[in-house]
Amino acid sequence: MATITLDHIAHAYPGPSGAEKRYALKPIEHVWQNGRAYALLGPSGCGKTTLLNIISGLVIPSDGRLLFDGQDVTRLPTEKRNIAQVFQFPVIYDTMTVAENLAFPLKNRGMERRLIEARVAEIAELLDLTPVLRRRARGLTADAKQKISLGRGLVRSDVSAVLFDEPLTVIDPALKWELRSKLKAVHQALDMLMIYVTHDQVEALTFADEVVVMKDGAVLQIGTPADLFERPAHSFVGYFIGSPGMNFLPAVIEGRQAVVDGQRFDLGAQYALPAGDVQIGFRPDYATVTASGGIPVKLQRIEDLGRRRLARVTLGGHGLVATLPNDVTLTGEAAGLHVQPGHLHVYVDEHRIEGQRMTEPLHA
Amino acid sequence: MRIQGRGIAITIYLLALFLPIYWLLNMSFKTNGEIMSGLNFWPHHVTLRNYAHIFTDPAWYLGFVHSLTYVALNTVISVSLALPAAYAFSRYRFIGDKHLFFWLLSNLMAPTAVYAMPFFNLYYSIGLFDTVWAVALAHCLFNVPLAVWILEGFISGVPREIDETAALDGYSFPRFFIKIFLPLIANGIGVAAFFCFMFSWVEQLLATTLTTVHAKPIVAVMTRVYSAEGMDWGLLAAAGVLTMVPGAIVIWFVRNHIAKGFALGRV
Amino acid sequence: MLDKPWNNRAWFFVIPVLVFVLFSSIIPMMTVVNYSVQDTMGQNNFFWNGAAWFQNLLDPTTDIGGRFAAALVRNLIFSLVVLCIELPLGIAVAICIPRHGWRVGAALVLIALPLLIPWTVVGTIWQIFARQDIGLLGAALNSVGIHYNDTQDPTSAWATIVVMDVWHWTGMVALLAYAGLKAIPDAFYQAARIDGASRWSVFRNIELPKLQKVLVIAVLLRFMESFMIYTEPSVVTGGGPGEATSFLSLDLVKIALGQVDLGNAAAMSLVYNLITLSLCWIFFTVMTQLEQRKGS
């Protein structure tokens, strides 16, 4: 168990000489706190696996330092780092039984046999592997094999961190949910630092205390699931997290109002904006459509998701999604849009700008 | 450091591999006088006489021509016979398929020595004795099953959905096979052709048994290098060196697929 | 394997091969069977001889029977010895083959090179290499005081044939094993590093199990090829000194083409063929079962 510090870590693959270095991972600084669960979230190729491999030592970063409890381990080989990692596809040792698979990392470190057996039994119990402990690992299903991989990752109690590289990819959707909650329970039971790479926002948001959203090798935002939802620091975060994603409209800011296609949105705050492309963004969850009043929009169609209804509307040629309350009935194309105050964000060049909220409005 | 150790190990292995070949090369550039006068680690009087002899004496260079001719014929025959069969084995189940497959493979494993005498009778009686065709056909005994086996492995690596999609898109089977399927298994065909080439090129017993004068392969020519002064070692060495050239060229072409090829497409 | 559709029209695809193999395998075999049950007084006069040739052949107390049994034992020992050397060596070489860069291609080509040399030439290379007067190996061994003479001394002859076979064929095992190793995903090696596995443990628990399938192919091909070995020893030792390196094929060719003893040769051919066939069948069964187990 340890605290892991990324000190200006970056990674570039050596490009053709003369050409500018291509960064697979742009410089980041972050401290992973002991005992917490983190998720690295982003689309494929965003650098999240590279970051994970830097922490585990499979990749040596080109720049920066990596500290485990203040100790520099940047160039230390994997086996000296005290890290556990679970891979995307099940990695099991064909020739061994399930129990031997689970015991393998402990045995290699010369742990006492009695202690190994106790620990293996404990982990097997947590992952429901007890009934198959004596079976050969080769003949089991992909789900069971991946559970063994998870178990091998969790079996060492002294590890600095357990890293998961999209561990549920091969798991059946029905079992995915179960394993995810199992992992969450394991995390609470074992009190370890866990870092979990995924491209699935549901996995990230349900598993992690804190989520790191990445894109194109850069970290866009680090925050709790609520932070990411309520205050996306980057328009990509707004768009990537939440289903459907955030609405964005090009706007002109005039005082405490944003003007979109002649329509005025109340921002509730004063903004000092740097130069750049200005957009306003709000989540469909915080916007409602009614038959009249509000900002006039044109209704395109209604999607009934069962639990909630969404209205797809246009405002000056821009498509938007908003919630359609169950008690509202719309006739014809005309409708009115209402955005809850405090949930409207201003972005300049895709980055969120914090407004200066006055305690007292100037005019009532 | 571990990687370095492996590098050293493989280098030592390759050097050991190359040493006998080097010795042959060394001798091929010497005169017989120099060869017999004692051990030299490199030729002190480099001579191309041995090579010149091979390229000017029809008995020698025709040996190469004959060998390459039957090897080429054999490769074409084997692969084209094997392709449809490999497709059938890979894609369908049919009555007796497993027995047939094993029976084919058993031909691959049959000792050529067993076939030397009956092949002599067979090809003599149908008038093909002492032609390149006799050798080309005789080598099909083991090359056709080998090609079927390799191609079956590669074809099984191509998802069957492709066949079905092509059928849905209105391709007739022959058109599908030639236009779509063959390009997909081009690697496998290359590897199969490589193996047919290899086993036909290296075989000697059948090739010498089935020929006397008009289709004598290079390996048979090489067995007759006695002259009045005894063995002509330099000439023998030069011929040996030259027989490695076609093989080396062919390997170079398939070097990227060679590993998978040796696993018969089954990894 | 099991999800293949049943279609008997597939037979049409197999017919060319079938016709060809009938011509190339069955007809010659019939000739052999024919000879094996007849005897001749010369001038192409053959008469029925029943199973006499076979009785002789399989009775080790007769001249031919003893000769056959000795050659069979010799050949089995030879196959076993070369397998025991080539298999581990080939795997070791495969592990040492670099994984990236231009060196891969170069190493593969060099390793494969002996496989593409005509077998007679392989024999010639070693015949020259092993000579005491003009060969590097023979001269070097004798100069350091080891009595070595591959044409006079049976031990030297055996050693030469074995080393030659290792030189000739280890590359095949190495290439097979290399193909198997390349098919192992990187994650296995990474996981092993994270689990703190030793190099030996990686080999024992990851590489060797994953190589199982290609190694069965390697054993099959190497066993069969060494069981049929003819050309290389015939060039280097001619089966001698005495009968020391007279393997089955050498003996058979001697009897069939040298002594034209057709009855004995035919009976021997059939028994020889039957032995290889049964061994081949065992390997084939093992292999298909491995494939099925992997599929399920």
Could you say which of C188, C195, C208 has the minimum Cβ distance to residue A108? C195
Q: Three-state SS for C47? A: strand
Chain C positions touching A101 (Cβ under 8 A) are none
| Cβ pair A58:C190 closer than 8 A | yes
Residues A273 and A195 in one domain: no
> What is the DSSP pairing of strand A194-198 with strand A161-165?
parallel
Put simply, whether B249 touches C (Cβ < 8 Å) is no
Nearest to A121 by CA among A111, A130, A112: A130
Chain C positions touching A98 (Cβ under 8 A) are none
Percentage with pLDDT > 90 across chain B: 20
| Cβ pair C194:A78 closer than 8 A | yes
pTM for the model stands at 0.81
How far is A325 from A74, CA to CA, in rounded Å?
54
CA dihedral (B123, B128, B131, B134) positive or negative:
negative
Q: Which residue, of A207, A235, A263, is where some domain finishes?
A: A235
Residues A195 and A250 in one domain: no
Chain B positions touching C133 (Cβ under 8 A) are 36
Residues A226 and A320 in one domain: no
Q: Is C31 exposed, middle or buried (0-12, 13-18, 19+ CB in 10 A)?
A: buried
- Are the CB atoms for B104 and B82 separated by under 8 Å? no
How far is A342 from B172, CA to CA, in rounded Å?
65
Could you say which of C187, C196, C204 has the minimum Cβ distance to residue A109? C196
Q: Three-state SS for C202? A: helix
Residue A364 counted as domain residue: no
Q: Which residues pair with residue C171 across a beta bridge?
A: none
Domains held by chain B: number = 2
Could you say which of C194, C198, C208 has the minimum Cβ distance to residue A85? C194
Residue A324: C-alpha distances to residues A160, A290, A312 (Å): 48, 7, 9
Chain C positions touching A105 (Cβ under 8 A) are 194-196
pLDDT in tens, chain C (296 residues): 446 788 877 888 888 888 888 888 888 888 888 878 877 666 566 667 777 777 777 777 777 788 888 889 999 999 999 999 999 999 999 999 887 778 888 888 889 899 989 988 898 889 888 888 888 888 888 888 788 887 788 888 899 999 999 999 999 899 889 988 888 888 899 899 888 888 899 999 999 988 888 888 888 888 888 988 888 888 888 877 877 888 888 888 888 777 777 778 888 888 888 888 888 888 778 877 776 665 44
Residues A56 and A115 in one domain: yes
- Are the CB atoms for C160 and C236 separated by under 8 Å? yes
pLDDT band at B71 (very low <50, low <70, confident <90, very high): very high
How far is C174 from C115, CA to CA, in rounded Å?
12
Compute the nearest-CA separation of B219 from chain C (Å): 6
Q: Phi and psi dihedrals of C140, rounded to 5?
A: -65, -45
* Residue A17 pLDDT greater than 60, yes or no: no
- Are the CB atoms for A263 and A277 separated by under 8 Å? no
Q: Is C11 exposed, middle or buried (0-12, 13-18, 19+ CB in 10 A)?
A: middle
Chains near A, with 3+ CB pairs < 8 A? C
How far is C202 from C187, CA to CA, in rounded Å?
12
Residue C16: count other Cβ atoms within 10 Å of its Cβ. Answer: 17
Residues B133 and B68 in one domain: yes
Contact residues, chain A to chain C, C-beta under 8 Å: 56, 58, 77-79, 83-85, 87-89, 91, 93-96, 104-105, 108-109, 149, 152
| Cβ pair A87:C197 closer than 8 A | no
| Cβ pair C191:A89 closer than 8 A | no
Q: Please give the pLDDT value at position B227.
A: 53
Compute the nearest-CA separation of A87 from chain C (Å): 7
Residues A250 and A331 in one domain: yes
Residue B1 counted as domain residue: yes
Q: Is A251 exposed, middle or buried (0-12, 13-18, 19+ CB in 10 A)?
A: buried
How far is B190 from A363, CA to CA, in rounded Å?
83
Residues A163 and A116 in one domain: yes
Task: Report the first-to-last Cα separation within chain A, whole angstroms.
Answer: 55
- How confident is the model over B116-133, as a mean pLDDT? 87
Percentage with pLDDT > 70 across chain A: 95
- Are the CB atoms for C211 and C181 separated by under 8 Å? yes
Residue B267 counted as domain residue: no
Q: Is A77 exposed, middle or buried (0-12, 13-18, 19+ CB in 10 A)?
A: exposed
Q: Which residue, of A235, A269, A287, is where some domain finishes?
A: A235
How far is A210 from A230, CA to CA, in rounded Å?
14
* Residue B262 pLDDT greater than 80, yes or no: no
Q: What angle do CA C100, C105, C106 make, to 5 degrees?
A: 110
Residues A48 and A153 in one domain: yes
Q: Please give the pLDDT value at position A232.
A: 92
Complex ipTM: 0.84
Residue A291: C-alpha distances to residues A260, A263, C209 (Å): 20, 17, 68
Residues A112 and A206 in one domain: yes
> B79: domain CATH number?
1.10.3720.10
Residues B21 and B125 in one domain: no
Residue B189 counted as domain residue: yes
Residues A222 and A77 in one domain: yes
As a three-state string, the secondary structure of chain A is CCCEEEEEEEEEECCCCCCCCEEEEEEEEEEECCCCEEEEECCCCCCHHHHHHHHHCCCCCCEEEEEECCEECCCCCHHHCCEEEECCCCCCCCCCEHHHHHHHHHHHCCCCHHHHHHHHHHHHHHCCCHHHCCCEHHHCCHHHHHHHHHHHHHCCCCCCEEEEECCCCCCCHHHHHHHHHHHHHHHHHHCCCEEEEECCHHHHHHHCCEEEEEECCEEEEEECHHHHHHCCCEHHHHHHCCCCCCEEEECEEECCEEEECCEEEECCCECCCCCCCEEEEECHHHEEEECCCCEEEEEEEEEECCCCEEEEEEECCEEEEEECCCCCCCCCCEEEEEECCCCCEEEECCEEECCECCCCCCCC
Chain B positions touching C46 (Cβ under 8 A) are none
Give C 104-123 residues with CB within 8 A of chain B.
105, 107-121
DSSP state, residue C115: G
Q: Three-state SS for B22? A: helix
Give B 104-123 residues with CB within 8 A of chain C.
104-119, 121-122
Q: What angle do CA A161, A165, A166 make, to 5 degrees?
A: 135
Residues A210 and A73 in one domain: yes
| Cβ pair A87:C196 closer than 8 A | no
- Cis preceding linkage at B111, omega within 30: no
Residue A102 counted as domain residue: yes
| Cβ pair C256:B141 closer than 8 A | no
* Residue A114 pLDDT greater than 70, yes or no: yes
Residues B20 and B107 in one domain: no
How far is A3 from C187, CA to CA, in rounded Å?
26
Q: What angle do CA A341, A343, A349 make, to 5 degrees?
A: 125
Chain C positions touching B141 (Cβ under 8 A) are 21, 24-25
Chain B positions touching C198 (Cβ under 8 A) are none
How far is A231 from A63, CA to CA, in rounded Å?
31
Put simply, whether C277 touches B (Cβ < 8 Å) is yes
Compute the nearest-CA separation of A156 from chain C (Å): 10
How far is C153 from B68, CA to CA, in rounded Å?
38
User: Which range of residues forms the domain containing residue A36?
Assistant: 4-235
- List the domains of chain C with CATH numbers: 64-295 (1.10.3720.10)
Residues A43 and A139 in one domain: yes
Residue A143: C-alpha distances to residues A127, B51, C182 (Å): 11, 66, 25
Nearest to C32 by CA among C272, C275, C219: C272
Put simply, whether C199 touches B (Cβ < 8 Å) is yes
- Are the CB atoms for B208 and B217 separated by under 8 Å? yes
Q: Which residue, of B9, B26, B47, is where some domain finishes?
A: B47
**The token pair that represents A144 in the structure block:** 């069971």
Could you say which of C9, C13, C129 has the minimum Cβ distance to residue B23? C129
- How confident is the model over B216-222, as a mean pLDDT? 84
| Cβ pair A87:C209 closer than 8 A | no
Compute the nearest-CA separation of A63 from chain C (Å): 22
Residues B68 and B40 in one domain: no
Put simply, whether B27 touches C (Cβ < 8 Å) is yes
**The token pair that represents A18 in the structure block:** 């003369």
- Are the CB atoms for C262 and B91 separated by under 8 Å? no
Residues B220 and B94 in one domain: yes
Domains held by chain A: number = 2
Put simply, whether B202 touches C (Cβ < 8 Å) is yes
- Are the CB atoms for B46 and B34 separated by under 8 Å? no
CA atoms within 13 A on the CB side of A154: 28
How far is C143 from C140, CA to CA, in rounded Å?
5
Q: Please give the pLDDT value at position A83.
A: 87
- State the Cα torsion C148-C152-C158-C161 to the nearest 10°: 90
For residue B202, what is the enclosing H or E element? helix B186-202
Chain C positions touching A108 (Cβ under 8 A) are 195-198, 201
Q: Please give the pLDDT value at position C1.
A: 45
Which of C134, C222, C292 should we substitute to test contact with B (largest number of B Cβ atoms within 10 Å)? C134
DSSP state, residue C5: P
Residue C144: count other Cβ atoms within 10 Å of its Cβ. Answer: 8
For A196-248, what is each residue's pLDDT tens digit? Answer: 999 888 888 888 899 999 988 888 999 999 999 999 999 999 988 888 889 99
Put simply, whether C210 touches B (Cβ < 8 Å) is no
Q: Please give the pLDDT value at position C296.
A: 41
> A311: domain CATH number?
2.40.50.140
Chains C and A touch (3+ CB pairs under 8 A): yes
For A41-93, what is each residue's pLDDT tens digit? Answer: 988 888 888 899 899 888 888 888 999 988 898 888 888 888 889 998 888 99
Residues B82 and B169 in one domain: yes
Put simply, whether B209 touches C (Cβ < 8 Å) is yes
Residue A186 counted as domain residue: yes
| Cβ pair C205:A56 closer than 8 A | no
Distance, C-alpha A282 to centroid of its chain: 20
- Are the CB atoms for A32 and A3 separated by under 8 Å? yes
Nearest to C262 by CA among C14, C49, C115: C49
How far is C155 from C149, CA to CA, in rounded Å?
9
> A209: domain CATH number?
3.40.50.300
Closest chain C residue to the Cα of B42, Cα to Cα? C136
Compute the nearest-CA separation of C221 from chain A (Å): 25
Q: Phi and psi dihedrals of A195, rounded to 5?
A: -125, 130
Closest chain B residue to the Cα of C247, Cα to Cα? B113
Chains near B, with 3+ CB pairs < 8 A? C
Q: What angle do CA B219, B223, B229 make, to 5 degrees?
A: 140
User: Which range of residues forms the domain containing residue B25?
Assistant: 1-47
Q: Which residue, of A168, A202, A235, is where some domain finishes?
A: A235
Put simply, whether C151 touches B (Cβ < 8 Å) is no
Contact residues, chain C to chain A, C-beta under 8 Å: 185, 187-188, 190-191, 193-198, 201, 204-206, 208-210
Residues A74 and A185 in one domain: yes
Longest CA span, chain C: 78
For B42-107, the DSSP string reads S-SS---HHHHHHHH-HHHHHHHHHHHHHHHHHHHHHHHHHHHHHHHHHH-B-TTHHHHHHHHHHH
The size of the A-C interface in CB pairs under 8 A is 52
